[in-house]
A and B are shown apart, each in its own frame.
Chain A
Amino acid sequence: MTPDERGEDSAIDVPDALAALLGADTVWTEPPDIADELVARIEQEARLQGDDQPRPAAAGRPRPWRRWAMAGAAAAAVIVGIALVVNSADDDDREPAGVEFAIVGTELAPDASGTGVVQVRPAGFAIIIEIQGLDPAVPGTFYQGWVRSDDGDLVAVGTFHAREDNGPIALWSGVDLDDYPTLTVTTQQIGAGTGSSGEQVLVARFDGS
């Protein structure tokens, strides 16, 4: 019963249908707190869209990743270890050279595995991964990629749901992967905050160690 119906506010004429909508819980449902996550994901996509061609490295002594990427076009296996394969830029003129790495599932996703490639971009590192055997994120959750330093510092590199079949997933790191050599993927609850849940489902080392 609205105040109108109780005769307390007869000056206000609220049509029944409008009153019904004003009383619906959906009209008062709070939106999820995902603005930061959205912006991060969109900035990531924007960078990848804007950086689809390799550009020269900055002047000065190149960082190790940049040296790897440049050398990758000429001498792949010399530089990296057993788990690393350096793509030749001659393989596909549309793709910049990159360093490949293997991804393995943890005990939370033992059937999952995949490969990835790191591509050096002017503004950071594109981490393109392809995963098999990973269940789609259940409703209310998503997968979050992280890069981790050997000291345990984590930097978020992007989110995905794995709900579309077989497509590569583009993650983005603005930090140098020499300093953050481990990739992990965790399951996160929507609205549960921006920190890692600690529930790792995938792990990889960019340097193959």
Chain B
Amino acid sequence: MDAMTTRRPPVDHIVRTRDLYSSLGHDPYRWVRNDGSPPWTELRKPLRECRVGLVGSGGVYRAGQVAFHHRDDISLRVIDTSVPVSELRTSHFAYDQTDARIDPNVVFPVDTLHTLVAEGVIGELSPRAYAFMGGIYSARRVRDVLAPEISRRLAEDQVDLALLVPV
């Protein structure tokens, strides 16, 4: 078996985006930079008793739902987690969706979470998961509109823990 080569450092997506925008003649994108300690909430029960909520930004929708548009769409899709993954689709303006369309679990791990419930690693998967299309240009709209909406729904679903899967 061939040996692994030396590992290169992770791709710096901030630099990559800056270079891309600059090559297109756009102003540099200003990423959110949060200083100071992030908020913190302790888990209130053992993982094996937790109801887990899933939120993914890979642009997943279910066949029958309206797909995302690619002009700053900040809408949400509520996905029933009993859905067969064969009914999940993706629509996203920015990443290569080839593998996500072959196996949606790579960006929206519903089968994976069902496996972890069956193994007793987590208590249950919330019946509702939430999907949107990441890469939203306006941090303000995410902070003021999308984030509170997702947070409110997760609280309503009484999840003990949220697993967030960005793309």
Chains A and B form a bound pair:
no
